[in-house]
RNA sequence: UGGGGGAUCGUUCAAUGGUAGGACAGCAGAUUCUGGCUCUGCAUAUCGGGGUUCGAAUCCCUGUCCCCCAGCCA
């Protein structure tokens, strides 16, 4: 999995890997990397989980770390060993190994209980004996703060006593819960005294049995399980963002200090034409819209496995789609592309006629059977192997490969036209036989004996090549053709119920497909997959019997002809250029000025007016006036720099960014220092570019501006000849770019300026650089 | 309407303040005994408005849109 080809192909890494690399560099966890995949055993794993598995196990492997498999089994009412087994099976199948690191949250129940008691002792948790409804009421809403209930201030002793009795099973479900004592008015709803433990007296846990009458919630159990296992990076999906504050709170309040696990969220995988929530998948199974969790139309790993998708394809897919924090919906076509790509170079090609129509070769001897040797692989697949294909007078071809009145561009068989039978002869359709209903039942053809594949005179060209089988030699097999489970690109977004978007023809069963005999003999032993030429990749379904083979279509081949037909018959409604919601601009330009104006206090207004009086635009003045202490800082700076406007720009555009994460007083420099830096720039002692470098150094606490300029030799270089030298060298070293620039790619200007600026270490004046460059390039 | 996130080709992932690039999808062509594979080429994007800068997808201000949070689920 950890192959360096991948690493070298993609130079950039995702934000999580970048963060871990930074943690390793800083020694935050002493170079340890421990991740975990924490499924709840209440459903089957799906392709979305695969993304998380590949991420967690992949990151661990890349960093010589380990990844734990931990069952998050804190809810006895929904969990089951059936799921535990399928999950382990699926992770292993995907190609990952947790070694000895198989864990269960239920293993930690005693420790978690002890942590809860510790929280109570610290006055950070209490037993609430309100009803479920009362708790909901008192939680408030998004807009209104919650209100404390009558049990919030119970004594520590009473809480411990009650919690102990909850544990002993003295109370019924729903009569008491343990809650964290945080803040019922918190803006983060997750912090409004979240529930930590509930009573599940009668429930039977699949591992701990009836030992426990109380069970911890996710927010309590998960972070502590991570901590117990010494996880370093706890990676989860975006919907847990709000839970992170609580994650940290619990670890803080049971007294766990850094280095300790930290949670990072990424965007889960979504696929077009697919539902991914466990709830919905469970419903598909329970309501029998599919045949089970492993129905080949399901996005579950067991479904994909049964369909014939290989784990290597899923791994490649997860690698391809990347990891980010943006909500995404991956085009199903992209998954299909990867599946084909994964199979293309490995899978032998054979012939199978799905919907046969009979072909009689009138001029072929009645009893002759020729045995043709046909390669398993096309020339572009570097593999060896052939099989024998019997040819005789009575053949079967695909019904779709004959058209009585062909459309333009038709390469296949039609009355009077020729087509090549793959690896065999060229035939011509001489006569069409129909039944009473007018349906074509048989084609009489002639063949050209000199056109056999591989023979000297076989280079006769025909447009089309079709697959076929000899009728008497064909093996009848069942073929299951799968299509997307939903007709809607986003079934989740369907009005009403997602099952209404189910594709009624997601499964088509072909009972008597005709497979060439060699393929029937080799599948299941020699080969796990076959390509039925021109149709798709197929795998053997476990329903197969020795003489009743069942094939699943893994994925179709790309079909540019089919696409073309589709477009001609179904006139596409032109893509409605509905305005993208995100680009919808407001029709009423709101006046930003007045909005901010309203928030200004009288004092702030006075400050702003003083700043404006120095010649600073009101917009910037307002920003400075709003920030505590900034106006004084500004005025100090103005004492050192004559240009108040310039000082304001530096403060607004450079300093304000820093002030988002720390307060003014924590800066290693004062207003006067900043003022002198601004003066250095406005007087032309250093360039603006160098000024920014100095500013960064000042932020880093590296001293006064003058000292930094001195140390680094940042005084503006005025030597025109030096500059000319640098420019000549840069242009000489980048002749290709120069040519491209002269050919019209003027965007390259920034590239050249950047190079020259870097060469001069920011000392050159960028304006002069630009004009000199311009002159040279235009010359 | 509170808080937390997000916004780059049709989709998706990139781009130390310095050439907006890749993949899939699309289109056109080459090749082909699979209308497959492969190859070549084309088109299409920085949410809007201001500002800073020689230079902004990236920094500052502001607006808009989308997602998540009010389970005794995870």
- Give the pLDDT of residue A11: 73
> Which positions of A are catalytic?
40, 268, 278
Positions 189-208 in A, CB within 7 angstroms of strand B: 189-190, 195, 198-199
pLDDT, one tens digit per residue, over A243-277 is 999 999 999 999 999 999 999 999 999 999 999 99
Looking at residue A718, its pLDDT comes to: 61
Cβ neighbourhood burial of A190 (10 Å; 0-12, 13-18, 19+): middle
Strands (E), A258-355: 262-266, 349-350, 352-353
| Structure confidence by residue, pLDDT tens digits, A171-227 | 999 999 999 999 999 999 999 999 999 999 999 999 999 999 999 999 999 999 999
State the nucleotide closest to A586 in CA–C1' terms. B64
Q: Which residue is nearest to nucleotide B1 (CA to C1')?
A: A143
Q: Count helices and strands (H / E) in chain A.
A: 28, 25
Residue A577 (CA) to nucleotide B44 (C1'), in angstroms, measures 14
Q: Mean pLDDT over residues A614-618, rounded?
A: 94
> How much is the pLDDT for A168?
97
Could you check: is the Cβ of residue A331 within 7 Å of any atom of nucleic acid strand B?
yes
CA distances (Å), A367 to each of A209, A361, A392, A496, A763, in order? Answer: 72, 12, 8, 63, 92
Q: How far apart are CA A566 and CA A560, in angstroms?
A: 10
Place of tokens 């179709």: A556
A37 touches strand B (CB under 7 A): no
Share of chain A above pLDDT 70, in %: 94
**Closest by alpha carbon to A196, among A371, A25, A74, A325?**
A74
Protein residue closest to B17, using CA and C1' = A754
Mean pLDDT over A731-752 rounds to: 91
Name residue, tokens 């998954």. A335
Of A298, A357, A332, nearest to A552 (Cα)?
A298
Tokens at A246, concatenated: 């609580």
Q: Which nucleotides of B are covered by protein (CB under 7 A)?
A: 1-8, 10-20, 22-27, 33-38, 47-49, 51-56, 59-74
Query: What DSSP string describes A162-179?
Result: HHHHHHHT-S-TTS-EEE
Distance CA A46, CA A90 (A): 9
Q: Is the CB of A420 under 7 A from strand B?
A: yes
Residue at token pair 């820093």: A658
The answer, yes or no, to whether residue A10 has pLDDT greater than 90, is: no
Would you say the ipTM is above 0.95?
Answer: yes
Q: Which of A225, A212, A294 is nearest to A69 (CA)?
A: A225
| Contact, A305 CB vs strand B, < 7 Å | no
Query: Which residues 470-529 in chain A have a CB closer than 7 A to strand B?
Result: none
pLDDT value at residue A598: 53
What is the mean pLDDT of the segment spanning A531-545? 98
Contacts of A764 (CB under 8 A, 6+ apart): A687, A716, A717, A723, A726, A756, A757
Q: Give yes or no for CB of A593 within 7 Å of strand B.
A: no
pTM above 0.80, yes or no: yes
A767 sits within 7 Å of strand B by its CB: yes
Is the CB of A591 less than 7 A from some atom of nucleic acid strand B? no
């Amino acid at each position: 999995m950890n192959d360096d080809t991948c690493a070298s192909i993609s130079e950039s890494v995702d934000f999580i890997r970048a963060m871990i690399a930074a943690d390793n560099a800083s020694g935050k966890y002493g170079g340890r990397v421990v991740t975990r995949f924490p499924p709840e055993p209440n459903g089957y794993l799906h392709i979305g989980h695969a993304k998380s598995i590949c991420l967690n196990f992949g990151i661990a492997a890349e960093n010589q770390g380990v990844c734990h498999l931990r069952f998050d089994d804190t809810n006895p009412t929904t969990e089951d060993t059936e799921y535990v087994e399928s999950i382990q099976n699926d992770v292993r199948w995907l190609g990952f190994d947790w070694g000895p690191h198989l864990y269960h949250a239920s293993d930690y129940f005693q420790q978690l209980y002890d942590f809860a008691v510790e929280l109570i002792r610290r006055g950070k948790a209490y037993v609430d004996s309100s009803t479920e409804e009362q708790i909901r009421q008192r939680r408030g809403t998004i807009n209104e703060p919650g209100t404390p209930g009558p049990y919030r201030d119970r004594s520590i002793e009473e809480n411990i006593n009650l919690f102990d009795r909850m544990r002993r099973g003295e109370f019924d479900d729903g009569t008491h819960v343990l809650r964290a004592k945080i803040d019922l008015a918190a803006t983060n709803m997750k912090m409004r005294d979240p529930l930590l433990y509930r009573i599940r007296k009668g429930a039977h846990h699949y591992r701990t049995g009836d030992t426990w009458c109380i069970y911890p919630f996710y927010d309590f159990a998960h972070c502590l399980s991570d901590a117990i296992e010494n996880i370093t990076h706890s990676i989860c999906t975006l919907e847990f963002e709000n839970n992170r504050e609580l994650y940290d709170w619990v670890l803080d309040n049971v007294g766990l200090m850094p280095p300790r696990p930290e949670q990072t969220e990424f965007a889960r995988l979504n696929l077009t034409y697919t539902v991914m929530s466990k709830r919905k998948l469970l419903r598909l199974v329970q309501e029998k819209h599919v045949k089970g969790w492993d129905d080949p139309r399901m996005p579950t790993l067991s479904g994909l496995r049964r369909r014939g998708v290989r784990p290597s394809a899923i791994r490649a897919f997860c690698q391809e789609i990347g990891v980010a924090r943006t909500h995404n919906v991956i085009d199903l076509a992209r998954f299909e592309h990867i599946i084909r790509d994964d199979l293309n170079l490995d899978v032998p090609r054979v012939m199978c006629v799905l919907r046969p129509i009979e072909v009689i070769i009138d001029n072929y001897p009645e009893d002759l059977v020729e045995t043709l040797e046909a390669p398993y692989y096309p020339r572009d697949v570097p593999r060896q192997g052939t099989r024998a294909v019997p040819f005789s007078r009575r053949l079967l071809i695909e019904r779709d490969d004959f058209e009585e009145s062909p459309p333009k561009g038709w390469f296949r068989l039609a009355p009077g036209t020729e087509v090549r039978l793959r690896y065999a002869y060229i035939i011509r359709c001489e006569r069409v036989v129909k039944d009473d209903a007018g349906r074509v039942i048989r084609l009489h053809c002639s063949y050209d004996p000199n056109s056999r594949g591989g023979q000297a005179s076989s280079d006769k060209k025909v447009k089309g090549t079709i697959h076929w089988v000899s009728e008497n030699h064909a093996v009848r097999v069942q073929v299951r053709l799968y299509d997307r489970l939903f007709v809607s690109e986003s079934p989740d977004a369907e009005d009403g119920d997602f099952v209404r978007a189910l594709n009624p023809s997601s499964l088509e069963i072909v009972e008597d497909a005709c497979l060439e005999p060699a393929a029937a003999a080799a599948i299941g032993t020699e080969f796990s997959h076959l390509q039925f030429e021109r149709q798709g990749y197929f795998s053997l379904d476990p329903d197969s019997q020795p003489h009743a083979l069942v094939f699943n279509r893994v994925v179709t081949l790309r079909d540019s002809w089919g696409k073309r037909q589709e477009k001609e018959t179904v006139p596409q409604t032109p893509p409605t250029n509905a305005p993208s919601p995100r680009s919808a601009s407001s029709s009423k330009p709101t006046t930003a000025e007045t909005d901010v104006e309203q928030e200004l206090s009288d004092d702030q207004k006075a400050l702003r007016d003083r700043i404006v009086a120095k010649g600073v635009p009101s917009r910037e003045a307002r920003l400075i006036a709003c920030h505590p202490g900034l106006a004084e800082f500004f005025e100090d700076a103005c004492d050192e720099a004559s240009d108040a406007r310039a000082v304001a720009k530096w403060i607004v555009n450079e300093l304000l960014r820093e002030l988002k994460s720390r307060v003014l007083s924590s800066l290693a420099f004062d207003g006067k220092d900043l003022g002198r830096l601004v003066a250095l720039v406005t007087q032309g002692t250093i360039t603006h570019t160098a000024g920014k470098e100095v500013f960064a150094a000042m932020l880093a606490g590296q001293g006064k501006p003058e000292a930094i300029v001195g140390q680094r030799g940042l005084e503006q270089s005025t030597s025109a000849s030096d500059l000319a030298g640098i420019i000549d060298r840069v242009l000489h070293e980048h002749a290709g770019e120069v040519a491209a620039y002269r050919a019209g790619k003027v965007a390259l200007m920034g590239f050249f300026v950047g190079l020259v600026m870097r060469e001069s270490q920011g000392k050159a004046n960028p304006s002069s650089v630009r004009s000199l460059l311009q002159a040279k390039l235009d010359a």
